[in-house]
Structure 1
Amino acid sequence: MALVQFIKKHRVVFSHVGVWLGFLTLWALTIVHDGTKPENIFKMLVTFMPAAYTFYGSNFIFFRFLPKRKVATFVIAEILFFISCFVVISLEIFVLQPIAYGTEIGIPTTVTPWVEILMNEALWMYLILSTLSLGYYHLRQSLKRARELKISQKLKLEAEKGKLEAEYAFLRAQINPHFLHNTLNFFYAKSLGHSEELSDGILTLCNIMRYSLESDEDENGTVLLMKEVEHLWNVIKINQLRFSNRLQIDFQIRGELEGVRIIPLVLITLVENAFKHGELSNKEYPIRFVLEVNEEDFTFSAFNKKRKGPKETSHGIGLDNTRKRLAAAYPEKHTLTVQDEEDFYTISLSIKLAQSKYKYTPKSIEAAQPF
């Protein structure tokens, strides 16, 4: 398996090596078939060495300097490379060829042979093979862009699929959500003046329903972090009302949330997971949620002591779906870590925030839960 991964990672190198080995093998078989002496293989290698050097040297320069768009550096590199091509082909003509053919090595002492090699051999070889190398460079870049576009489209489709699955899973847990939302509004109006706690609970549930039905997403599929936090507070508040405010919950917010945007229905999954598996009434180990925003990223962590016995039923979208959505929306820009110990469970999410996508001020705030 490791060997297969290595070959896939360096498939371009292996493809080049394979082509050259195949070519040299065919040439060697031809030489043997013709009855030519085996040492001619060395002559063949000597003949092709300058061409291979020019082609792959041009490749190196194109791939190294063209993407950076530094014209001066590229021109200097090309000049130095042309000089090196002249040196290589001179070495091949005056040293290696005499060795291969058994003739005497002779270095010209006049200028004319060097000028002829420069103009008739080195320059033409450089122009032709550099042109071929440039075409190969653009072909590779085109294939790379096509792969990147395919990956980008795949990630976008996965993000859309995850979003639809999240919305469907959330709405599937509700019976005719629009009807239920309107009915809750009716109950809220009727409960006013009879029970403040009842009307408050109905209003909170209405807000939860409204958040699930009304989308404030932008073109990137993100919502304001402040709206996500309000949704978390409402879910926690409705659970407190269910258990007569006996739940031990510590919710801390640090930093400035204004303008920060994230994909929706991610943090609620971590909160629901804590409610489902956590000990809810232990004063010594309360469920703790910490959200912190700084100039570079924001983190959200949930800590809970594991509950013994039956667990709370959850209608959330699940951690697996959340991982897929995060991978699609924030590739290589997020971390989701889990510490699953015998008695305690901690999950932490960190997302890198692009500076241009949110408004941040140096002022820092620290708030506790409003319940």
Structure 2
Amino acid sequence: MSPAIIILLSIALLLLGIVGWLFVRMRRTEKVRKELEGRFMELETRNNTLQLQTLESRLNPHLFKNILNSIQSHAYQTYFAMDKLSNVLDYILYESQNRYVSPREEIDFALNLIEINKIKLSPLFSISVKKKIDETDGLYEQKILAPLISIDLIENAFKHADLQSADAFISIVIEFKDGIFTLIVHNKISGKSAFLKENSGIGATTLDQRLKILYNQCYKLERYAEDEVYVAQLKINLLEHKNKMLTA
């Protein structure tokens, strides 16, 4: 089983655990809410103003409602992430078995992968995702792009980003225009990050090998660290690659 599938299965188990925990908490919260409503009605019936004021001082109804809203919000985010995870797993289990997929399919996979990784980020963390796609491009729906070609650059950004610094960030740009697929990733890194070692990691080596075998001279991959910011840029000229395949 590949490391990517192991990672995604681990995320799936984690999300299932979170869903279960949220469900139990919401059931308990609903039970407490009903008990409190019953107590309020009993106190009002008996016109026991003193006890009612004491209970209100211990539990503000507005605060209680806000807590419920917060729990519901987290539950929605979890279900949203589970939907994205399902799409990613389908892509890895089925589409990745093909030698090529369409740029549209790989870009959809990349966007779903980004949404899943956002779960481990603080709401205050700065992340920017920009998509510049020409859907009228004739190659956009053609099976010409290697599957999972974007996973290494995206996963590494989330894995090695400096999450503690006040100016930490991740920036991802996905482009497809004139038959050229481009993925540009920036992220703030810590001084201990493995990214400071050039071309470190099995994933980086595997990506380089795949690109050389599949696209030969039709791609450009750059990785470098500058001013505590790691930059990874991948550009694949799919139009040139297709023309070479036709004339080969």
| TM-score category (smaller protein) | 0.5 to 0.7
Q: How does 1:60-139 map to 2 (within 5 A)?
A: none
Between the aligned partners of 1:356 and 1:309, the Cα distance in structure 2 is 38
Q: Is the 8 A contact 1:217 1:223 kept in 2?
A: no
Percent identity for Structure 1 against Structure 2: 25
Q: Is the 8 A contact 2:175 2:183 kept in 1?
A: yes
SS at match of 1:307: coil
> More displaced, 284-293 or 268-277?
284-293
The answer for the alignment partner of 2:155 in structure 1 is 272
The answer for the alignment partner of 1:322 in structure 2 is 207
Instruction: Work out which of the residue numbers 66, 74, 81 in structure 2 matches 1:201.
Output: 81
> In structure 1, what residue type is equivalent to 2:207?
T
**Would the alpha carbon gap of residues 216 and 174 (structure 1) be closer, same or farther in structure 2, given more than 3 Å must change?**
closer
1:248: how far off? 1.6
Between the aligned partners of 2:224 and 2:107, the Cα distance in structure 1 is 23
The answer for the alignment partner of 2:4 in structure 1 is 170
TM-score for both structures, normalised by structure 2: 0.59
Q: Is the 8 A contact 1:240 1:246 kept in 2?
A: no
SS at match of 1:332: coil
Q: Is the 8 A contact 1:301 1:346 kept in 2?
A: yes
TM-score for both structures, normalised by structure 1: 0.41
Q: Is the 8 A contact 2:127 2:171 kept in 1?
A: yes
Q: Is the 8 A contact 2:215 2:241 kept in 1?
A: no
**Counting strand residues as a fraction of each chain, which structure ranks higher?**
2
Between the aligned partners of 1:306 and 1:356, the Cα distance in structure 2 is 34
1:168: how far off? 2.7
Between the aligned partners of 1:207 and 1:317, the Cα distance in structure 2 is 25
**Would the alpha carbon gap of residues 296 and 204 (structure 1) be closer, same or farther in structure 2, given more than 3 Å must change?**
closer
Q: Is the 8 A contact 1:292 1:300 kept in 2?
A: yes
1:169-211 superposed Cα distances (whole Å, 9 cap, x missing partner): 323446699xx79x96xx79x96x9732232232222222222
**Would the alpha carbon gap of residues 299 and 281 (structure 1) be closer, same or farther in structure 2, given more than 3 Å must change?**
farther
Q: How does 1:160-309 map to 2 (within 5 A)?
A: 168-173=2-7, 195-215=75-95, 221-257=99-135, 258-259=140-141, 261-280=144-163, 284=167, 286-308=169-191
Q: Is the 8 A contact 1:296 1:352 kept in 2?
A: yes
SS at match of 1:354: helix
SS at match of 1:351: strand
**Would the alpha carbon gap of residues 233 and 285 (structure 1) be closer, same or farther in structure 2, given more than 3 Å must change?**
same
**Would the alpha carbon gap of residues 212 and 249 (structure 1) be closer, same or farther in structure 2, given more than 3 Å must change?**
same
**Would the alpha carbon gap of residues 240 and 171 (structure 1) be closer, same or farther in structure 2, given more than 3 Å must change?**
closer
Q: Is the 8 A contact 1:295 1:355 kept in 2?
A: no
Number of residue pairs aligned between Structure 1 and Structure 2: 180
Larger CA Rg, structure 1 vs 2: 1
SS at match of 2:95: coil
Structure 1 alignment gaps of length 5 or more: 1-166, 359-371
1:349: how far off? 0.8
Q: How does 1:33-48 map to 2 (within 5 A)?
A: none
1:213-272 superposed Cα distances (whole Å, 9 cap, x missing partner): 122665xx1112222222222222222233353332111111314325410112110011
